Amino acid sequence: MKIGIIGAMREEIIPLLEIFGKYEEISLGGNIFYCVSYKDSEIYIAYSKIGKVHSALTASSMILYFKCEKIIFSGVAGGLRQDLKVGDLMIATKLCQHDVDISAFGHPLGFIPESKIYIQSDPKLNEIAKSVAKRYEFDLKEGIIASGDQFINNAEKKQWLIEKFNADAVEMEGASVAVVCDLLQVPFCIFRSISDSADGQADVSFDEFLDSSARISANFVKNMVDTLLQQDNL
């Protein structure tokens, strides 16, 4: 099996590279892909750089060039729900692009013609994630994740995301990866460890908790990969 694992920033994949250890570096499209041989499988790890364009390019490269059969996104996000605290891990049930607006033509926010507002993540991969969470007694949250090319750090925008998209967390890449995987029919899941509350203190909280939150997400993804490979060999 070939599995692609993406983070948006270098800090989000360093814990994964440390966990897997030995890897080969492959340059493609202005980026570095780290190839890990692991349990008779190939794992490709990359940080896409911030934003929807870069993450879509990285996901496309993993699928079309490296032939990855599953895509996992591991990183951090701002929490929108009141019950979410820094360090909580969330898996996306579905994702949307909150910065798409062609409402001038009568379309709802987030909608693109010949597409849809929400992209559903893969139920089978989500069930594997839930089984891992149960095994390790980890409180895995579920929710809707909104993506856009904006770092959200004010209470008004936070409330807007909740009201318009019923979003539970916000970040800058997940929905574009979801669109790519959906169109190319590759199963995917999006994990986000909560690093801030997407309010006026978001910039301070984000810097302070980025490393610890990324490590929480990376450790969970490693356990999920082990479970996925074990089930594939049954």
Give the active site residues.
12, 196
Q: What type of residue is 53?
A: V
Q: Compute the distance between CA of residue 140 and CA of residue 180 in angstroms, rounded to an integer.
A: 25
Question: How far is Cα 20 from Cα 117, in angstroms, rounded to an integer?
Answer: 36
Exposed, middle or buried: residue 104 (CB in 10 Å: 0-12, 13-18, 19+)?
exposed
What CA–CA distance (Å, rounded) separates 202 from 136? 29
**Distance, CA of 221 to CA of 211 (rounded, Å):** 15
Q: Which two tokens stand for residue 183?
A: 């169109």
Q: Where are the beta strands (DSSP E) in 131-181?
A: 140-147, 169-171
Distance (Å, whole) CA 90 – CA 118: 17
